[in-house]
Structure 1
Amino acid sequence: MLSVAVLISGTGSNLRALLEAADDPGYPARIVAVGADRDASGLAHAAAFDIPSFVVPFRDYASREEWAEQLGHRLDEIQPDLIVLSGLMRLLPASLVARWQPRIINTHPAYLPEFPGAHGVRDALAAGVAQTGASVIVVDDGVDTGPILAQERIPVLPGDTEDILHERIKPVERRLLIEVVRRIATGDIDLSAPPARP
């Protein structure tokens, strides 16, 4: 059984979907802890499923590195098989990524390598493209540059705003994330030899 720690910053909608999937006895992964960089509303999902949670407040530390060091201590205590970034709005320093790589994965609301970074949906709309997408990747020390584990195209429709398009992307992100975690748990995806970037 694959043990998973999930890190969030906000409402945790992907977290909720993953918790619901893992609640099925047939799903081959279990969420063992949920962490956050602030008092995130999504921590309520962990409480609803009786999953331990913790907060390492970013604002309490003088630097990103100091914050990440404390976050790393918490993860060391848990020793998950996999770490899922679920809307964590912080870049993890390379030192922390290196300790856990390739066992950190993240979702992104674009068809990578198109539109990396914090504003993938906004950037897609600004570019006037006909389609964007959703991706699940292995986290490396770049910004959305790690190996792609799964992705799917999503059309950009006339009248789409950033919020409307993002709401259409989110269910695809959730479905891809649940499937990728399942495939990692069953060995169908080998994180020690992830696919190369196209």
Structure 2
Amino acid sequence: MKNIVILISGRGSNMQAIVNANIPNARIAAVLSNNEQAAGLAWAAERGIATESINHKAFDSRLAFDRAMMDKIDAYQPDLVVLAGFMRILTPEFCTHYEGRLINIHPSILPSFTGLHTHERALEAGCRVAGCTIHFVTAELDCGPIISQGIVPILDGDSADDIAARVLTVEHQLFPQAVEDFVAGRLQIHGNRVLNEAFSAEGQSLLA
């Protein structure tokens, strides 16, 4: 059984998708947040999942907060730490501490549109598609090895909210699958590339 700790800052819809997936051999050990009012904390607590919050504003530096968060996370002996809408830029120390077991979902087709306001920027650039990326986290923002990506169309007349809603549906499919693949030991990092043993080069499943 693999222990998973999920970090959120708001309602945690991707966290909910992961919990609801009932991933084999995965135990959601805890849900943590930098926002004690995060709606996702109440949702997790109602389902018997341990929850904790730490207010980042109570710390005089980003590193001090990250170290406090690391202490909380490590108490649950995580095999995997999942950033599911955790709206904090993490320090290199945090990223190194969880290297190879820290994954994030980003609402763009990386390497395009790192950072914030991804859908607005896609519209401004005239893109015809948008999407999301699940990746391992490194010290360089939104640049870690890519696990999987999903693509949706940008339709004429779309607003950023329209795109966000369309992308979120794909996120809720891809993120639980990425967690399941990690737990099953199917993901291997080779340099800046992730290989998934479940699929061949043609994208066909290699598993029985």
Please tell me the TM-score bracket, short chain as reference.
over 0.9
Kindly indicate whether the alpha-carbon contact (under 8 Å) linking 2:3 and 2:79 is maintained by their aligned counterparts in 1. Answer: yes
Show the counterpart of 1:53: 51
Kindly indicate whether the alpha-carbon contact (under 8 Å) linking 2:31 and 2:51 is maintained by their aligned counterparts in 1. Answer: yes
Residue 38, structure 1, aligned to residue 18, structure 2: no
Displacement of 1:185 after TM fit? Answer: 1.0
1:59-70 equivalence runs, <5 A: 59-70=57-68
* Structure 1 residue corresponding to 2:193, chosen from 176, 192, 196: 196
Show the counterpart of 1:8: 8
Displacement of 1:141 after TM fit? Answer: 0.5
Specify whether residues 194 and 107 from structure 1 end up closer, same or farther in structure 2 by C-alpha distance, changes over 3 A only.
farther
Once the two structures are superposed, residues 145-187 of structure 1 have per-residue CA deviations (whole angstroms, 9 ceiling, x without a partner) of: 0000000211111111111110110111121110011111111
Once the two structures are superposed, residues 9-45 of structure 1 have per-residue CA deviations (whole angstroms, 9 ceiling, x without a partner) of: 01110011111112xxx62312110000011111012
Displacement of 1:194 after TM fit? Answer: 6.6
1: CA distance, partners of 2:29 / 2:115: 28
Tell me the amino acid that sits aligned with residue 50 of structure 2. P
SS in structure 2 of the partner of residue 42 of structure 1 = helix
* Structure 1 residue corresponding to 2:104, chosen from 86, 106, 111: 106
2: CA distance, partners of 1:31 / 1:150: 21
More helix by share: 1
* Structure 2 residue corresponding to 1:27, chosen from 10, 24, 27: 24
2: CA distance, partners of 1:56 / 1:84: 17
Structure 2 residue ranges without an equivalent (≥5): 195-208
Tell me the amino acid that sits aligned with residue 11 of structure 1. R
SS in structure 2 of the partner of residue 47 of structure 1 = helix
Show the counterpart of 2:199: none
Displacement of 1:102 after TM fit? Answer: 1.4
Show the counterpart of 2:132: 134
Tell me the amino acid that sits aligned with residue 66 of structure 2. A
Show the counterpart of 1:163: 161
Following TM superposition, where does structure 1 have runs of at least 4 consecutive aligned residues deviating by more than 3 angstroms? 192-195
TM-score, normalised to structure 2, is: 0.89
1: CA distance, partners of 2:15 / 2:56: 20
Tell me the amino acid that sits aligned with residue 92 of structure 1. L
Displacement of 1:48 after TM fit? Answer: 2.0
Structure 1 residue ranges without an equivalent (≥5): none
TM-score, normalised to structure 1, is: 0.93
RMSD: 1.4
1:116-135 equivalence runs, <5 A: 116-135=114-133
* Number of equivalenced pairs: 193
